[in-house]
Structure 1
Amino acid sequence: MFRSTMSPTPARPHRTARLAAAVVGGALLAVAVPSLASAHVTVSPDELVAGDHGVLTFSFSHGCENSPTTALRITMPEGLASVSPTLDGDWTIDVERGDDGLVSAVTYTALSPVPSDLRGAVSMGVGLDEDTPASLAFPVEQKCVDGTTEWTQIAENGEDPHSLDAPAPVVTVDAATGSGHGDHEDADANAASDGQSPAAPAVESLWGTILGAGGLVAGLAALVVSVLAYRRKS
């Protein structure tokens, strides 16, 4: 009796490998999409305390329809006691003042246009009053070689800011609870007395993120191995 000596076709393992690659690729895409969606003019930090002061950094990572950025004009909200733009060798600074003498807008003009695939940033020191509003919006006009983008939209009550196409950078202002700098010193002292450095919570949060990402990768790897093992048995 004639018996075939042909080896089994490898099509099934190839299909399994493609399926596993698609699963991993989809997971990576799901992680990457939020980063792509956050391509706006942002401010950091996005939270300050009433009556305190801090340095705000406005960042961007794209131009107007991929055209290089030439300038940023940032309008100041009401409630700021002082504004001090940061001198930077990559930008020239033009300060506008209102009738009250306070800074009303600051324009940063790039000495060389910032390509749309590079990150650009400008900064300023700001001082807050005790009665500064709970939210400070900084409308930004981004000027480019070709075109202009106005980041001026502000979310209404109950509206999700992430749903806006061109949101203005917003800083949340927390109510003052003490003497400002003394509060930070007391918090650091309490953390030290507990045997924990002030930076420990941030480190723990970072490790939590890393471990979570590692768990996701391990889970996907286990899924791929299980699928391959099942296909071989069948």
Structure 2
Amino acid sequence: MSRTTTSPRRPRSRRALVATTGALGGVALALAVPLMAGAHVSVSPDELAAGDHGVLTFSFAHGCGTSPTTALRITMPDGLTSVAPTLDGDWTIQVERGDDGLVSAVTYTALTPVPTDLRGAVSMSVGLDEKTPETLAFPVVQQCVDGATEWTQLAEEGEDPHALDAPAPVVTVTDAEASMHGAHGDGEADTADADATATAADPLGIALGTGGLLAGAAALVVAVLAYRRRA
């Protein structure tokens, strides 16, 4: 009488399941970490020349958890000679002025709350003079349906601004003559510098995201090997 022996397969199947779960978790981490690290109100451009005028755009994607954004209140720094908010059909605009008649704060209120999975943006024209400080910080209060986030933190000397939990948008003011000289420089060098700046914009998010991708890829390889051994 012959006897057939069947080797148990559950342990291998379980290992494959665990490996596959690890792969999915790694991919999810890779996608989620940069999103969390990128939760802030940003300003573009982040550099203007002294004595110049420019249009600043403040953008956001999320910042109050899962609660939609209802308003942005942006406080103006000292050193601006003029502020003119941009009319936008998606927002109502309230302007506050100081005793000197200059704009001290602008509040943009959304006609429809902005969901967390959509990007919102508001803009304004600003004027600078030759005495404008080298750094202009624009504290922002992001109001949401539930709660609010105050983007008001400023980096201390030697501190990485990307390490702050709620950094205020900051514009660097460059020397007018240096800016004009740079405008006539090598265009390819300017493009390379811009690419380098964009790459280094959020080193923490990039590093953690890359780690998540590597972990996910390694777990996926383990899952494939386990599946082949089972087959």
State the alpha-carbon separation in 1 of the partners of residues 196 and 42 from structure 2.
25
5 Å-filtered alignment, 1:157-172, equals: 157-172=157-172
State the alpha-carbon separation in 2 of the partners of residues 64 and 25 from structure 1.
24
Checking the alignment, whether the CA contact within 8 Å between 2:40 and 2:63 is kept in structure 1 is no
Q: CA deviation at 1:88?
A: 0.6
| Structure 1 residues not aligned, in runs of 5+ | none
After the TM superposition, which segments of 4 or more aligned residues of structure 1 sit over 4 Å from their partners? 196-206
Q: Give TM-score, length-normalised by structure 2.
A: 0.71
Greater relative contact order structure (CA < 8 Å, 6+ sep): 2
State the alpha-carbon separation in 1 of the partners of residues 191 and 158 from structure 2.
34
Q: 1:44-83 CA deviation, whole Å, 9 max, x = no partner?
A: 2223333333221112223645433322111110122322
State the alpha-carbon separation in 2 of the partners of residues 153 and 134 from structure 1.
18
Q: Tell me, what secondary structure is at the counterpart of 1:58?
A: strand
What does residue 217 of structure 2 align with? 220
Q: 1:160-181 CA deviation, whole Å, 9 max, x = no partner?
A: 333433322122223334463x
Instruction: Let me know the Cα RMSD of the aligned residues.
Output: 3.9
State the alpha-carbon separation in 2 of the partners of residues 154 and 146 from structure 1.
25
State the alpha-carbon separation in 1 of the partners of residues 87 and 64 from structure 2.
25
What does residue 140 of structure 1 align with? 140
Q: Tell me, what secondary structure is at the counterpart of 2:78?
A: coil
> What is the one-letter code of the residue matched to 2:46?
D
What does residue 101 of structure 2 align with? 101
Checking the alignment, whether the CA contact within 8 Å between 1:13 and 1:228 is kept in structure 2 is no
Q: 1:73-110 CA deviation, whole Å, 9 max, x = no partner?
A: 11110122322211111112122222333221111122
Q: CA deviation at 1:203?
A: 7.8
What does residue 84 of structure 1 align with? 84
Checking the alignment, whether the CA contact within 8 Å between 1:24 and 1:220 is kept in structure 2 is no
What does residue 49 of structure 1 align with? 49
* Percentage of identical aligned residues: 67
What does residue 58 of structure 2 align with? 58
> What is the one-letter code of the residue matched to 2:217?
L
Q: Tell me, what secondary structure is at the counterpart of 1:162?
A: helix
Q: 1:178-207 CA deviation, whole Å, 9 max, x = no partner?
A: 463x743x23xx44xxxx69768768999x
> What is the one-letter code of the residue matched to 1:224?
V
Q: CA deviation at 1:228?
A: 1.9
Q: Give TM-score, length-normalised by structure 1.
A: 0.71
Q: Tell me, what secondary structure is at the counterpart of 1:130?
A: coil
Question: Structure 1 residues 204 and 82, CA, compared in 2 at 3 Å: closer, same or farther?
Answer: closer
Q: CA deviation at 1:27?
A: 5.2
> What is the one-letter code of the residue matched to 2:128?
L
Checking the alignment, whether the CA contact within 8 Å between 1:63 and 1:115 is kept in structure 2 is no
